[in-house]
Structure 1
Amino acid sequence: MVIISDLYKESAQLYNLVSLTGLALYVFIMFFFSKHPSKIKWLTVAWGFALQFAFALIILRWSLGFHIFKWLSDRVANYMKFVQTGCLFLFGPNYSDHLFVMQVLPTVVFISATINIMFYLGIMQKLIVGIALTMKMLMNTTAPESVATAGNIFLGQTECLLLVKPLLKYMTKSEIHAVMSGGFATIAGGVLGAFILFGVPANHLISASVMSAPAALAISKLFYPETKKTKTSAEFAGNIKSQEKSLFEAASAGAKSGMSLVVSIGANLLVFISLLSVINSTLTWFGERVGSTKPITFQFVLSYLLWPFALTMGVKLEDCRKVGELMGIKTFINEFVAFQELGVLINNRKELNEHIAKNGTWSSERSVVISTYALCGFSNFGSIGVQLSLFMALIPSRKSMFAEVALRSMISGSVACFVTACIASDRILFLGLKNEINFLIF
């Protein structure tokens, strides 16, 4: 009620409350299509949304809170940059020309070795127990889903899965679904720099990843509730021992495990993106046969199908088609392409020249902000291939279970991003950090 009152006082129109209606709509949709609606633990869902609102207030209304999270994110990003030394040695000075293959994938190997070392030293077990007990107290969630979701604030879906690797064989379908959803709902700290280079506001990228983490847990437990007794308690996690006999053996084993993941990730991405190209080419061919002057693609079709979702997030009606198109690009290609397109639109608005008339722009900065939050996640069909390859490479015996929950978890991750956009779209976004975000007001 405090937030609603605050929004109403700051707004000259009730349109700023549209996104709260969207929030209620997404909760209803997830409940309606829930796997086990009678098993939903509403206290867990409520605490997830409460934490999301709390993070929004801390990061977006409190300057110190924003800088604390930015500092933590910078520390993680800086550590991950050390992999560049190895990339430079292996691939030469122009390795960054092939960002994904020669920088993102080697980061997987580096983080895998780091996590294995931390397990050998006993650090990771203590971290799992600490976070798991805290989340257990607040949301009644289990050790692996709590740790993986918290880790997704700063790490990517690949690295966070390695955090709970020893627990995977014991996890229920609901726990697997929650871990996958957290990976789909957030982005990796390692790719923040690329998105910022596109012109996307850094502060909103950081706050989006933080806010979407508890939302992912809430939506996941709404969409796929737990029906079995978990075997992955915090005490169980604390008793896990490393199998390696020395620090160097732990590092080597982690690197070997990470390398198998890299091969699996690369192969699956190649197949998924190529198949999407085949589908788009086929649709375009049929479009040309019926006289269409514009290429017909999946993302073009989705721009019409998804514009109602953009509307419920508080986007002005005249921008809904464009936001829907970006959501389609993100879902059926990946977030890199979507953020690159968003950067072009932001730049168009800044320049205010003939390029705007040719390529289009936004009617308000509100659409830029909402798009940033809605796109800030790995929830796309290409990432389903990544997630499945990761899980299957680590625990091949449970591949059918992983495949069963993958699509539902991707939907959960997307909805978590949309819920975050609903919360962030209101005027609350501009009340506390006006000095930090003045560059957004074009």
Structure 2
Amino acid sequence: MQEKQNGHAHVDLTFKEPTFTENLNQFYRTHKTKLFNTIKGIILVLYLVYVGYSFSVKFGDEGSIRLLVCTLFGLLLMTWRFIKRRHPERILPNSCYNIWEEKIFRKVMRWSLNIVVGVVAVAYTVIYTLMDNPGNLMSLSGIVVFFTILYTTSTNRSAINWHTIYWGFLLQIIMGIFIVRSEVGISVMIYIRDRFSEFLSYSDTGAAFVFSEKYVEFNFIFRNLPHVLFYLTMINVLTYLGVISFIVRTIGNFMAFCLGTGAVESVVAASNIFMGSVPIEYLLSAALMSAPAALVCAKLNMPNVQVPVDDKIVKYQRNPKERENAPRNVLEAITKGTQIGTMIVTTIAANTLIYLSLTDFLNATLTWFGYRVDVPDITFEKICSYLLWPFAFIMGVPKEDCPEVGRFLGVRALTNAGIAYIQMGKYLDNKEQLTIYESSFNDSILMNNGDIFLPNWNTTLENGILTERTALIGTYALCGFSSLPAMGLSLGVFGSIFPHRLQDVSRIILRAFIVSTIASYVTACIAGNHFTLNF
């Protein structure tokens, strides 16, 4: 501070002692990272102590297995994040990277894997699948037909990378054997499905509070859509915590190595696993198997004419706007996830209303035109049941169920997979009711034009039932986003993000629709090829 005293400037050099609060703030700013790491370490140690003590008290039941799996996954995630923040070569010896980067070593490893895995997969398929159930051969022939279609219509057959096709197909076979055929794989998928359904059921509490206990009477709008909202919100939270990034990058790296594809396209294919929202049996396994199927079909029909952007997984750099809008804590992630989920749920409800209405209008129009020429009951579904009957048949669907599956495929193409699953779900409900009825009564049932009449219940199961094989293949075939509304949505999204490439996307959008549809059919063929009555 300066003052005027006797015409001279005076400077106050008195030293001011920092207060305790200022010292504390300075210490916090200096050692902030160390403090947070220490707190996290203490919490981790306390948690591990709790886990160890809980295992000593009770181990072997479902709850202890769940705790063990979640703990191991959490430790793996923390290890991955620790390594990601540092260069791996600082942790692992350089010799590991030098050996791996040797082209000869990589070539020998890949060819060895090609031969060994291929022989084992083919031998298992022939011995344990086709000989056990020769009817599965039809699904195998369907794969040949669909691959032939993709190859014949390919934009550049000379540029096809057969290594990618070979390994993508092998990955699907291996996943099919594990998920559809093996008891361990079936048990794992059933366990994951049950845990997922249990997790979604917690949203019923909120639905009952908001919509009253009668919400179950309006299953779609007041029960299924809250499930989707809850699921999307938690996906946003897991994305903030890095869980989704870890899973997607791990699967993407694995697919990039096995299939020889670029990192970006592999990660995109892997991320689509988390894009579905219809909790139907077999759907989780269908989503997993669809990732390599999408890459295989795309590479077969429209192979790269340029070298992929990268060979390794690149680190995505957010732009300043994205960094500014990114959630800063879990509560903000929940809030933003809820906002995003609300928009998506609203869109789902609106699209379902609109496309069901348009389908009914289309059916009424077709029926009217048919009536003018004495051809009754012409509907869009009936036309699809005839046009798509061959596709259902070569996928391995029993002949008596092919018209119904063809109808579902047509509905999926015109509207979306959700509506097709809802229609197929009615047949599955009929199957469940018939099973309960037959276990309670020994009386015969009556059938009339596909309907099943249950005398003791005085109930008619309209349109009958679907076999277990049909339910399996149909669910896999319908899993995906290849529909006319999805085409329009894709054009809108790409147009808003990359307006200068809109014409390029428009030229290939129809091809993408057809290829993605065939990819779903190929996945269904793989599942049908490994079908067993014990599933």
TM-score range, shorter chain: 0.7 to 0.9
1:342 aligned partner: 427
Which among 246, 249, 252 is matched to residue 126 of structure 1? 246
2:164 aligned partner: 44
CA distance in 2: counterparts of 1:273 and 1:296, whole angstroms: 17
Which among 365, 388, 391 is matched to residue 306 of structure 1? 388
- Asked whether the 8 Å contact 2:263–2:310 carries over to 1, the reply is no
Q: Give 1:304 shift.
A: 1.2
Q: How big is the alpha-carbon RMSD for the aligned residues of Structure 1 and Structure 2? A: 3.8
**Structure 2 vs 1, CA of residues 129 and 209 (structure 1 numbering), >3 Å: closer, same or farther?**
closer
Which string of whole-angstrom CA distances, capped at 9 and with x for unpartnered residues, describes residues 238-275 of structure 1? 88985333333333233223333333444344333333
Q: Percent identity?
A: 32
Task: Name the SS for the 2:131 alignment partner.
Answer: helix
CA distance in 1: counterparts of 2:507 and 2:522, whole angstroms: 24
2:358 aligned partner: 275
Task: Name the SS for the 1:225 alignment partner.
Answer: coil
TM-score (norm 1): 0.72
CA distance in 2: counterparts of 1:318 and 1:417, whole angstroms: 22
2:520 aligned partner: 417
CA distance in 2: counterparts of 1:62 and 1:39, whole angstroms: 36
Contiguous gaps of at least 5 residues in structure 2: 1-121, 439-443, 452-462
CA distance in 1: counterparts of 2:396 and 2:275, whole angstroms: 28
The code of the aligned residue for 1:256 comes to Q
CA distance in 1: counterparts of 2:249 and 2:402, whole angstroms: 44
CA distance in 1: counterparts of 2:203 and 2:130, whole angstroms: 48
**Structure 2 vs 1, CA of residues 223 and 336 (structure 1 numbering), >3 Å: closer, same or farther?**
same
1:191 aligned partner: 279
1:90 aligned partner: 210
2:9 aligned partner: none
Report whether the alignment pairs 1:354 with 2:433.
Answer: no
2:531 aligned partner: 429
Q: Give 1:388 shift.
A: 6.3
**Structure 2 vs 1, CA of residues 325 and 135 (structure 1 numbering), >3 Å: closer, same or farther?**
same
**Structure 2 vs 1, CA of residues 274 and 25 (structure 1 numbering), >3 Å: closer, same or farther?**
same
Which string of whole-angstrom CA distances, capped at 9 and with x for unpartnered residues, describes residues 281-332 of structure 1? 2111101111123x21122111111121122223444543343334334433
- Asked whether the 8 Å contact 1:22–1:422 carries over to 2, the reply is yes
- Asked whether the 8 Å contact 1:329–1:338 carries over to 2, the reply is no
The code of the aligned residue for 1:191 comes to P
Q: Give 1:363 shift.
A: 10
Report whether the alignment pairs 1:213 with 2:291.
Answer: yes
Q: Give 1:394 shift.
A: 8.5
1:4 aligned partner: 126
CA distance in 2: counterparts of 1:86 and 1:104, whole angstroms: 12
TM-score (norm 2): 0.61
Contiguous gaps of at least 5 residues in structure 1: 158-187, 193-201, 438-442
**Matched positions, count:** 386
**Structure 2 vs 1, CA of residues 45 and 103 (structure 1 numbering), >3 Å: closer, same or farther?**
farther
CA distance in 1: counterparts of 2:432 and 2:231, whole angstroms: 34
The code of the aligned residue for 2:379 comes to T
Larger deviation, residues 237-246 vs 47-56: 237-246
**Structure 2 vs 1, CA of residues 132 and 72 (structure 1 numbering), >3 Å: closer, same or farther?**
same
- Asked whether the 8 Å contact 2:389–2:403 carries over to 1, the reply is yes
CA distance in 1: counterparts of 2:264 and 2:203, whole angstroms: 26
Q: Give 1:69 shift.
A: 2.5
Report whether the alignment pairs 1:59 with 2:161.
Answer: no
- Asked whether the 8 Å contact 1:307–1:323 carries over to 2, the reply is yes
The code of the aligned residue for 2:446 comes to E
CA distance in 2: counterparts of 1:119 and 1:347, whole angstroms: 37
Which string of whole-angstrom CA distances, capped at 9 and with x for unpartnered residues, describes residues 190-240 of structure 1? 522xxxxxxxxx4x5554444333223322333343455447962323889
Which among 89, 101, 115 is matched to residue 221 of structure 2? 101
CA distance in 2: counterparts of 1:30 and 1:98, whole angstroms: 43
**Structure 2 vs 1, CA of residues 257 and 61 (structure 1 numbering), >3 Å: closer, same or farther?**
closer
- Asked whether the 8 Å contact 2:428–2:465 carries over to 1, the reply is no
- Asked whether the 8 Å contact 1:348–1:361 carries over to 2, the reply is no
Task: Name the SS for the 1:425 alignment partner.
Answer: helix
Larger radius of gyration: 2
CA distance in 2: counterparts of 1:82 and 1:262, whole angstroms: 18
Bigger relative contact order (CA 8 A; separation at least 6): 1
Which string of whole-angstrom CA distances, capped at 9 and with x for unpartnered residues, describes residues 82-126 of structure 1? 333333333332334333433444444434443443344344443
Q: Give 1:78 shift.
A: 3.0
**Structure 2 vs 1, CA of residues 97 and 129 (structure 1 numbering), >3 Å: closer, same or farther?**
same
Q: Give 1:24 shift.
A: 0.8
The code of the aligned residue for 2:249 comes to V
CA distance in 1: counterparts of 2:203 and 2:498, whole angstroms: 28
2:337 aligned partner: 254
Which among 216, 220, 223 is matched to residue 301 of structure 2? 223
